[in-house]
Amino acid sequence: MGIIRKALTSKPVASLTSPFTVDHYLEQIHPMLAAENVRARVVEVRRETGAASTVVMRPNGAWKGFVPGQHVQFGVEVNGKRRVRVFSVSSSKAAKKGTFSVSVKAHPDGYVSQFLHQELEPGTIVYLSQAEGEFVLPREVPASLLLVSGGSGITPVMSMLRTLRDTRHSGQVTFLHYARSREDEMFTSELDEIAATTDFRVVRVYTRQPEPGAALAGRFIVDHLKHLGVDPAGTLTFACGPAGLIAGVRDTYAELGAADQLRMEYFKVPSVDLDAADATGMLSFDDSKMEAFNSGATILEQAETAGLKPDFGCRMGVCNTCAIKKNSGAVRHVVSGEVSASTDETIKICVQVPIGDVNVAL
């Protein structure tokens, strides 16, 4: 199949099928046939909690696999319209069944996540990107590893944990997860099993309904690491979750001089709360020949308010769907607070707010 796929993606074939791609013709024969485009058939939709589900899929031959921690762009067609969002892979890299899974918490205003949780059925064809992202386990996993997650941020971390279990990793692994309650937690039964059958230390903190006698309580603080005996300076750490959790972990590691040991990804962009001085000037959409007074919202939100329809996927800075060129001006990242004033730089407009006059190629 590799030789056939290479031939189908060659320049001579592309010239023959122009202005369409070869995949345009292949999918007329069967929706799973493709030389380059990744498709997958849904094998199972498994409820994890009242608001979260796991989708198990069998991809076509165009799929190149994933590294634990990566995500995919996940598209479904409903009433003739394709909708795409970004979801993290949650399955083990070591799985041998030719399938992989994403796990998603349904959000009240999330069309795709709601459809996935309530209506998606086995047999459905979904449209995927190749796996993306740099929040991944290294090829050589160090002897000491800490995985921190909060809420639905558990999904990429669960892929890491499952892979470490299935490859019989012998190093010290600490898994620290924050959820509102046991009922709100994803993968509860499997986490119980991993805690009971491996040497991994699995610690869960329920912030709203703590279990009686729990050693740790509340949101992340440095004392939680001290209680677990984790030395941040000597422990490679992966943290994924809502912005508040990530900010707490980031600040703690910075204060301890261990920032180089921390890898981060966040799952929810906080509401924008910036200085009034930032919400000044004009936001110019250069390609559209339009201008708008800077409201202080993200550039994506301001573009949509102005009537533009920029591409977007996750709306939280994980994928690159909304990335465009900033021609001039300064922007602030809504999670990290980092300000960038470089010209001709690529920015993700879902997590950047303009400071003063800003011009973007949109």
Domain containing residue 353: CATH number: 3.10.20.30
Name the domain boundary from 95, 128, 161: 128
Cβ(280)–Cβ(294) under 8 Å?
Answer: yes
At 296 the pLDDT is 84
At 2 the pLDDT is 63
At 340 the pLDDT is 87
- If asked whether residues 113 and 150 sit together in one domain, one would say no
**Would you place residue 12 in the very low, low, confident or very high pLDDT band (cuts 50, 70, 90)?**
low
As a whole number, mean pLDDT of residues 178-189 equals: 96
Give the count of domains, the chain: 3
- If asked whether residues 185 and 257 sit together in one domain, one would say yes
- For residues 127 and 97, the model is more confident at 127
- If asked whether residues 151 and 242 sit together in one domain, one would say yes
Q: Average pLDDT of the chain?
A: 87
- If asked whether residues 55 and 82 sit together in one domain, one would say yes
Whether residue 37 is predicted with pLDDT greater than 90 in this model: the reply is no
| Residue 331 counted as domain residue | yes
pTM, rounded to two decimals: 0.76
At 338 the pLDDT is 83
**Would you place residue 29 in the very low, low, confident or very high pLDDT band (cuts 50, 70, 90)?**
low
CATH code assigned at 215? 3.40.50.80
As a whole number, mean pLDDT of residues 140-160 equals: 95
- If asked whether residues 190 and 85 sit together in one domain, one would say no
Whether residue 8 is predicted with pLDDT greater than 60 in this model: the reply is no
By mean pLDDT, which of 38-47, 111-120, 182-191 is the weakest? 111-120
Cβ(106)–Cβ(114) under 8 Å?
Answer: yes
| Residue 329 counted as domain residue | yes
Name the domain boundary from 210, 238, 267: 267
- If asked whether residues 303 and 333 sit together in one domain, one would say yes
Residues 223-256 pLDDT 10s: 999 999 999 999 999 999 988 899 899 999 999 9
| Residue 100 counted as domain residue | yes
Q: What is the C-alpha separation between 28 and 297, in angstroms, rounded?
A: 43
Whether residue 136 is predicted with pLDDT greater than 90 in this model: the reply is yes
ω into residue 156 within 30 of 0, thus cis? no
By mean pLDDT, which of 146-150, 271-275, 319-323, 355-359 is the weakest? 271-275
| Residue 231 counted as domain residue | yes
- If asked whether residues 263 and 148 sit together in one domain, one would say yes
Name the domain boundary from 267, 296, 321: 267
**Would you place residue 163 in the very low, low, confident or very high pLDDT band (cuts 50, 70, 90)?**
very high
Q: Which phi-psi region, left, alpha or beta, contains residue 25 (left: φ > 0; alpha: ψ -120 to 50)?
A: alpha
Q: What are phi and psi of 298, to 5 degrees?
A: -65, 160
Residue 148 CA: distances (Å) to CA of 60, 173, 174, 225:
33, 11, 8, 11
- If asked whether residues 123 and 151 sit together in one domain, one would say no
Whether residue 188 is predicted with pLDDT greater than 90 in this model: the reply is yes
At 14 the pLDDT is 59
- If asked whether residues 216 and 184 sit together in one domain, one would say yes
As a whole number, mean pLDDT of residues 187-202 equals: 97
| Residue 227 counted as domain residue | yes
Residue 167 CA: distances (Å) to CA of 91, 141, 163, 255, 263:
13, 11, 6, 34, 22
| Residue 2 counted as domain residue | no
At 314 the pLDDT is 75
- If asked whether residues 151 and 258 sit together in one domain, one would say yes
Give the domain range for residue 97.
38-128
| Residue 10 counted as domain residue | no
Whether residue 20 is predicted with pLDDT greater than 70 in this model: the reply is no
Highest mean pLDDT among 84-98, 208-222, 267-281: 208-222
CA 129-3-37 angle, to 5 degrees, is 15
At 106 the pLDDT is 86
Distance of CA 304 to the CA centre of its chain: 23
At 45 the pLDDT is 96
CB-CB neighbours of 170 under 10 Å: 10
Residues 260-308 pLDDT 10s: 999 998 765 544 444 545 677 899 999 999 998 888 889 998 999 989 9
- If asked whether residues 82 and 152 sit together in one domain, one would say no
- If asked whether residues 240 and 212 sit together in one domain, one would say yes
At 276 the pLDDT is 47
Residue 329 CA: distances (Å) to CA of 46, 270, 275, 342:
46, 23, 17, 7
| Residue 215 counted as domain residue | yes
As a whole number, mean pLDDT of residues 157-184 equals: 96
